[in-house]
Amino acid sequence: GQQVMQIPQYQHVQEGEDFTTYCNSSTTLSNIQWYKQRPGGHPVFLIQLVKSGEVKKQKRLTFQFGEAKKNSSLHITATQTTDVGTYFCTGYQKVTFGTGTKLQVIP
Amino acid sequence: DAGVIQSPRHEVTEMGQEVTLRCKPISGHNSLFWYRQTMMRGLELLIYFNNNVPIDDSGMPEDRFSAKMPNASFSTLKIQPSEPRDSAVYFCASKIDSSGNTIYFGEGSWLTVV
């Protein structure tokens, strides 16, 4: 079945540093969605990527979809404490999420 | 607009007791998902329904877990008998079933089995 793996599992960064998490699939994805879960909260939709090579930006967040539509990345520029949380990607077929990447920002 | 509504928000129960978690999806959404989240295993998909029919329950850990969706506006996840290893946050989520639609999560049910 379709498997989406995310790395790293954990990341600690100093406030102001950049952060990147990667999502890799064993099969071609029709689209990919990214979600953020704040500590104690529930996952909330951030963005969806559909086209090969697509790049989308939301303020300091940059999302990319690979040319082969098998991988994706989320890059945060100059992290802030409000970025703390767990970031999940999901390839669409079975809507599975996995462990995500837990981001800790040190003030 | 009301989001996905889950109850109870928190439950502490003794091992061996039956636990029933409830979910009301967003009106008009025809896909419903139950997830379990733990530190070790992350966010696991337990089961999902489409138009009230269970489509994939391969994530249900064992026979102690069962889920039903008697109508479009209500679903339950039942654990009987509960065990301490079932302690987790259980999320219900819903979406409109067509490619690319956002999944909306409830706030979760925090279960502790002692």
Round to whole Å and give the CA distance between A15 and A19.
Answer: 10
Whether the predicted pLDDT of B99 surpasses 70: no
- Give me the residue from A31, A95, A100 closest to B33, CB to CB: A95
Contact B105 A42 (CB under 8 A): yes
Q: Which amino acid is at B24?
A: K
Q: Which residues pair with B47 in a beta bridge?
A: B34
Q: Which residue has the tokens 């989520």?
A: B93
Reduced to 3 states (helix: H, G, I; strand: E, B; else coil), residue B84 is helix
B46-73 pLDDT, tens digit per residue, is 999 999 999 999 999 889 999 999 999 9
The whole-angstrom separation of Cα A67 and Cα A47 is 18
Give the list of residues 6+ apart from residue B98 with CB closer than 8 angstroms, or none. none
The whole-number pLDDT of residue B20 equals 98
Please indicate whether, in this complex, the C-beta atoms of B45 and A95 are within 8 angstroms of each other.
yes
Cα A23–A26–A29 angle (5° rounding)? 70
For all residues of chain A together, what is the average pLDDT? 93
Whether residue B103 and residue A100 make contact (CB cut-off 8 A), yes or no, is no
* B114, B84 Cβ separation under 8 angstroms: yes
B48 neighbors B69 (Cβ within 8 angstroms) = no
Q: How many CB atoms lie within 10 A of CB A59?
A: 7
- CA distances for A34 relative to B41, B87, B103, angstroms: 19, 26, 11
Matching residue, tokens 């069962």: B66
pLDDT in tens, B16-53: 999 999 999 999 999 999 999 998 888 999 999 999 99
pLDDT for A2 equals 58
pLDDT tens string A51-91 = 999 999 999 999 999 999 999 999 999 999 999 999 999 98
**Least reliable range by pLDDT among A30-39, A90-99, B48-57:** A90-99
Which of B39, B44, B49 shows the shortest CA–CA distance to B61?
A: B44
- Model confidence at B108: pLDDT above 80: yes
The four Cα atoms B61, B100, A37, A84 give a dihedral, to 10 degrees, of: 140
Work out the pLDDT band at A43, boundaries 50, 70, 90: very high
Average pLDDT over residues A2-7: 80
What is the per-residue pLDDT for B89?
A: 98
End-to-end CA distance of chain A: 41
Find the range with the poorest average confidence among A39-48, A92-101, B8-17, B70-79.
A92-101
Mutate to test the interface with B, among A2, A32, A42 (most CBs of B within 10 A): A42
Between chain A and chain B, the number of residue pairs with CB atoms below 8 A apart is 48
Residue pLDDT, tens place only, A15-32: 999 999 999 988 888 889
